[in-house]
Amino acid sequence: EVQLLESGGGLAQPGGSLRLSCAASGFTFSTYAMSWVRQAPGKGLEWVSFISGSGGNTYYVDSVKGRFTISRDNSKNTLYLQMNSLRAEDTAVYFCARDSSVSYPDYWGQGTLVTVSS
Amino acid sequence: EIVLTQSPATLSLSPGERATLSCRASQSVSSSLGWYQQKPGQAPRLLIYAASNRATGIPARFSGSGSGTDFTLTISSLEPEDFAVYYCQQRSLWPRTFGRGTKVEIK
């Protein structure tokens, strides 16, 4: 059974940092691209970042470029999102998601809440 | 970036009725569009990929159509569990983008 379990969310001050993790199981992690998608409270979905299975290709939404870094450790079956210079508008539930073989997120974690506030 | 406009914002229907949801892209995305369902407190669920292909385990009452800039998600006969928010998402160009969603509520 495919499982994705996010952790690392919590309260951060503006300008602060957090690192999110997503532990994957039930599939061959290294062969799947992964994404982070966020959802601000009461709002819609926003795709944040993507990483290929090897980690060699990454993409970001413009609003997080230069502040967030996506990475993965295929030996640990874990996806990461390093978030620096956090802003109030980064407050959201962050989901990790597996890209299916046809490149659409087919499995999602339950999300971890990040709150940026002083 | 490609902007996806979903309409209507809210659809009020009764169980058994047909639901038709629209997603329009600001430029052509070919067939690179997916549809997701999200219920309160839950993660999204992939329903349709590549505009018209049902994902694994998705009931046949869900269907997708369209290409280029205009897409439709149809639920042929609403079941009680179908009342939720539906999002379209394009993967034609980076960054991937989602529409703002259509809420299907019980009338």
Confirm or reject contact between A60 and chain B (CB < 8 A).
Answer: yes
Classify residue A113 by burial, with Cβ atoms within 10 Å: 0-12, 13-18, 19+: middle
Give the closest of B46, B100, B101 to A104, CB-based.
B46
Interface test with A, best of B29, B71, B96 (most A CBs within 10 A): B96
Q: Is B38 in Cβ contact with A47 (below 8 Å)?
A: no
What is the pLDDT at residue B4? 98
Q: Is the pLDDT of residue B16 over 90?
A: yes
A34-88 pLDDT, tens digit each:
999 999 999 999 999 999 999 999 999 999 999 999 999 999 999 999 999 999 9
Q: Report which DSSP code applies to B84.
A: S
Tell me the nearest-neighbour CA distance from B14 into chain A, angstroms: 24
Dihedral sign computed on CA atoms, order A94, B93, B70, B31: negative
B19-32 pLDDT, tens digit each:
999 999 999 999 99
What is the pLDDT at residue B40? 94
Task: Provide mean pLDDT across the span B46-61.
Answer: 96
A14-29 pLDDT, tens digit each:
999 999 999 999 999 9
Task: Provide mean pLDDT across the span B64-81.
Answer: 97
Confirm or reject contact between A27 and chain B (CB < 8 A).
Answer: no
Q: Is the pLDDT of residue A103 over 90?
A: no
Q: Is B43 in Cβ contact with A108 (below 8 Å)?
A: yes
Q: Is B53 in Cβ contact with A45 (below 8 Å)?
A: no
For residue A47, list chain B residues with Cβ-Cβ distance below 8 A: 89, 95-98
Tell me what percent of the residues of chain B surpass a pLDDT of 90: 100
Burial profile A53-89: b = 16 or more Cβ within 10 angstroms, e = fewer: bebeeebbbeebeeebbbebeeeebbbbbebeebeee
Q: Is B87 in Cβ contact with A106 (below 8 Å)?
A: no
What is the pLDDT at residue A100? 86
Cα(B34)–Cα(B97) distance, integer angstroms: 11
Tell me the nearest-neighbour CA distance from A20 into chain B, angstroms: 17
Chain-centroid distance, C-alpha B75: 10
Confirm or reject contact between A101 and chain B (CB < 8 A).
Answer: no
